[in-house]
A and B are shown apart, each in its own frame.
Chain A
Amino acid sequence: MNVLELSILIFSGALAAGLLGALTGLGGGIVIVPLLTLVFKVDIRYAIGASLVSVIATSSGAAAAYVKEGFTNVRVGMLLEVATTVGALTGAFVAGLVSPRVIAIIFGLVLLQSAWQTTRQRVEHVVGGPPDRIASWLRLDSSYPTREGPQYYQVQHVPLGFGIMYVAGILSGLLGIGSGVVKVLAMDRAMRLPFKVSTTTSNFMIGVTAAASAGVYLHRGYIDPGLAFPVMLGVLCGALGGARVLPNFKTPRLRLIFAIVVVVMAFEMLYNGITGSI
């Protein structure tokens, strides 16, 4: 197989990942590294570099629409980006110190957690709460558009959200993923933001978080142009296509299929990490 044929195959795989990621709301980034390492036998460092690049493309593309519609809380995003960028730099430096086997094992565990999270029914949480001293001081309280007009909300537990975001940043930098699941957890559960605000603000932050570790990886030679370009363009096309068909698409069965794929990948990653064949 030559470079052209391999690139077409990788592009197709990335396209499918981007499409499924957009339709299930899990993002395509999480399956790119397993796809490249397990199916195409790519070294995990090149895989992480290519994955990070694709994560920046899809999240920035999606964030463009959401921020214009007024769902994104720019202040919350900006504040928490301090935590995620420091975390992402930490993760990128740690990645240079530990062996690929350890990264594969952590990746497997994160995949399992994501699959479990996908199949669970989302429980509606109490949105907002009484005025919070820190949130008021940082002027984080805001509003978002609904059919009945602007809906106001008050942000809670800022330090807890900030701490969880640091962890999300580490995972993003270490594994080359967007870690949107952890970001939404911090904003939806801890800070009690409305779900739509949590997901869109998470998207808004993913690009900045991934850019922080992508710079480090670029200098370290993890970003291989021959690999990054079919992955980036494939995931981007898939995500754009997915966003277009999403409104008239039923997702429960698709989410289940995607979760099963993720679980299979998780065990493969764990197996390869433990036996050292990665």
Chain B
Amino acid sequence: MTTASGHAPAEERVEQMVGNLLRIGVLFAAAVTLLGGIAFMIHHGSLTPDHSVFRGQPEMLSSLSGVIAGAVALEPAAIVQLGIVLLIATPVARVLLTLIAFASQRDWMYVLISAIVLVLLAYSLIVG
């Protein structure tokens, strides 16, 4: 049995799952960012912006734990940042899903390749 793309049915199932994961991840992250953005405008919309000098971000907006704690406390900027973290996490979840799919096909070489990419992404997101 072949598919329109000529890929094996098992591979095509994985492609459908990957596609759905990416779509849901992006839409969910965008929705959280939008909610945070609206709250941000209500709280800070009338302030004078200044992005011309680089000052970095406080701990609450530049570490995973800070962003989560801030979002739980309903801090608008932290909710926006949570949306962005969810967006960054979407491709990471995609790599994890492909790793699981390769493992279920006993394709160990690609399990290893996916694991290398996953470790690099986790290092970046957690350690920075």
Contact = CB atoms under 8 A, between A and B. Distances in A.
Contacts, number: 225
Nearest to A150: B6
B100 interface: no
Interface in B1-33: 2-7, 11-12, 14-16, 18-20, 22-23, 25-26, 29-30, 33
7 contacts: A1-B48, A67-B19, A68-B15, A145-B5, A207-B90, A215-B126, A218-B84
Contacts of B11: 74
A110 interface: no
Given A142-B7, A225-B81, A229-B83, A208 B14 contact: no
Given A42-B52, A57-B26, A79-B113, A212 B128 contact: no
Contact of A219 (B3, B18, B117, B128): B128
A225 B5 contact: no
Interface of B: 2-7, 11-12, 14-16, 18-20, 22-23, 25-26, 29-30, 33-34, 36-37, 40-41, 44-49, 51-57, 61-63, 77-78, 80-81, 83-85, 87-92, 94-95, 98, 109-110, 113-114, 116-117, 120-121, 123-128
Contact of A78 (B19, B36, B113, B124): B113
B78 to A, nearest CB: 8
A215 B128 CA distance: 6
